[in-house]
Structure 1
């Protein structure tokens, strides 16, 4: 009988050996790839610990800001409430008692920017935040802040001209016109969703302002020419329109920040830009020498009251802008505009009670 060979055929042995070798090589290749990926990841982590730390820091700061949401919202609304009413009354007080410089009135609205150092550095000094102030700023954010600051400076100048020639009640009613434009510009710039509730709120507030304006005295104040009254009217309307643009632009800028401290830092840059604009205007118009002359010779309440009025204007206007910035950051530009329009009724009441404005 013919014996079968116990040895497998050569080609079968070779094929089996080739498969084993291929599998081994594939496994080794996969292991090497995994090891290489792990080494690469470890290497990247070693090269960029700052980026990783920054990501964790951003999350921590955002979480910390969210925890403080309600207290900060209340504080900023109170700042807006006190600042809005006080600044309008004090600005009118300056002009009533023979102050006449529009540039001085513009300058005091933004010269209080050093006060912003308190909310910027205080949390860092008491170790309630790990973030160092003025970090994570890009050139784009700085440029936007400067642009908005110049816009703010122009708005301040227009408000100064309006307050100089119009009663507080009249200027407050005219400024309420910004709400309709705020709604439109918010929808265009920040894609604000127009709902029935916010549309209804805007319509009701606007109609109430129109009714108040129609029922108020249409006579211009005593001693005011028609030209001056028209200038005051025109400047106040323009200030309202510019402020309606200012609010959604601010909201657009604040979408790039993740903490309340950064909002105050950007606000500081805006205020510095506005102050530079006002300072240049004062320098060319002789505003600084006029301040000295007004305090010593013109202001009918005396030098001490003059400087107290100036400093009080500086502080209260800063409260107003700090509150506005906070309200935009924590809510929206439209909500902030609605709150400010609501407060304008208090300004009207303040003008009637304090200065006996006709109404």
Structure 2
């Protein structure tokens, strides 16, 4: 009986990751929508938290992973409710995958902490500039770890998005906060650089692991374990450093919108960060780590637009050019992906036609001898 199941599982894996099927396209669209909505919304909600007197780095770290129970829905609903898969949740989830997920989850927790430290000290312009450097690191590490092939489309996109982020930082140089000491600046600087390096390493490492993953459902299961590990790390930090007491104090007295809006902001962050990470995991699994990094960097420009629309931020000529460069680079990369998928579909169709011809030859040949 196992011989009848395993080949089906292998075919499912090929269909989801390689062939441009309807299911592949649907998963890709859902992943990017989750990444887009999650990234922009989490950025706006994080800004809302700090604008209205929220200040805890541990709270900012904890909310990035503590919404992991939401991942139970994409893990269990396809099998028990929608009946769209024959694979039970956590089937073939080996001890090796469990250990790898825990280790990478701890790395992700450290990345979240470094990001929060940098975000609490640095102005938005400097933080955006430093975080954009992860795309260059991502390209280099992708070449080393997963043997990513450098093409005109991906190199052109990396250059344009990096230039866009640099221009964005220069056009926002006036937002440096008052009283930022050199010590705090350097802490924030190196924390943000560390977060960018860890995230640039995280993406190709996950792509390497996903090559041995059987299906999209298992990607979500790994994501659940990683988020649990990251939350455990953040919870220990919260407990030892008084983060939970700080959260209670902020909600009762410091947050100027009141306790109700404080918890709405926290819950909103829990949901949107999970959407962001779920979308990133899906993009890396279905495409590549470089594509995931490019999408994340491109959304930095969308975060600027979101800040203008929601908070009335200034939108000068520099930000306009930066946004146009960002859109240009991203659209050129998407067009390159479209051409690649079109070629894959054509090659797949030609392969099927060739196999059909060979089968007809085998059928006709015995009849001709008779």
Q: Shorter chain as normaliser: what TM range?
A: 0.7 to 0.9
Task: State which drifts further: 303-312 or 211-220.
Answer: 211-220
SS of 1:176's partner is: helix
What residue is the counterpart of 2:203 in the other structure? 247
Going from structure 1 to structure 2, the CA distance change for 1:355 and 1:153 (only over 3 Å counts) comes to farther
Q: CA RMSD in A?
A: 2.0
The CA deviation at 1:182 is 0.2
What residue is the counterpart of 1:143 in the other structure? 99
Structure 1 portions without partners, runs of 5+? 1-48
1:312 to 251, 268, 272: 268
SS of 2:173's partner is: coil
In structure 1, C-alpha distance between the alignment counterparts of 2:258 and 2:40, rounded to whole Å: 24
What residue is the counterpart of 2:69 in the other structure? 114
What residue is the counterpart of 1:162 in the other structure? 118
Cα pair 2:124 2:175 within 8 Å, conserved: no
The CA deviation at 1:326 is 0.4
In structure 2, C-alpha distance between the alignment counterparts of 1:64 and 1:127, rounded to whole Å: 18
Confirm or deny that 1:193 pairs with 2:144: no
Cα pair 1:263 1:326 within 8 Å, conserved: yes
What residue is the counterpart of 2:164 in the other structure? 208
Count of aligned residue pairs for this structure pair: 310
Q: How does 1:297-336 map to 2 (within 5 A)?
A: 297-336=253-292
Q: How does 1:6-21 map to 2 (within 5 A)?
A: none
Cα pair 2:129 2:169 within 8 Å, conserved: yes
In structure 1, C-alpha distance between the alignment counterparts of 2:267 and 2:175, rounded to whole Å: 33
Confirm or deny that 1:266 pairs with 2:217: no
Q: TM-score, normalised by structure 2?
A: 0.79
1:220 to 176, 187, 192: 176
Cα pair 1:57 1:131 within 8 Å, conserved: no
Confirm or deny that 1:351 pairs with 2:342: no
What residue is the counterpart of 2:194 in the other structure? 238
1:98-146: CA deviations, max 9, x gaps? 2221111111000111111111111101211110110111221111111
Q: TM-score, normalised by structure 1?
A: 0.81
Cα pair 2:65 2:270 within 8 Å, conserved: yes
The CA deviation at 1:305 is 0.6
The CA deviation at 1:64 is 6.1
Cα pair 2:109 2:233 within 8 Å, conserved: yes
1:62-108: CA deviations, max 9, x gaps? 36635411111111101111111111121122122222211111110
In structure 2, C-alpha distance between the alignment counterparts of 1:114 and 1:313, rounded to whole Å: 14
In structure 2, C-alpha distance between the alignment counterparts of 1:227 and 1:96, rounded to whole Å: 23
What residue is the counterpart of 2:7 in the other structure? 56
Confirm or deny that 1:104 pairs with 2:59: yes
The CA deviation at 1:165 is 2.5
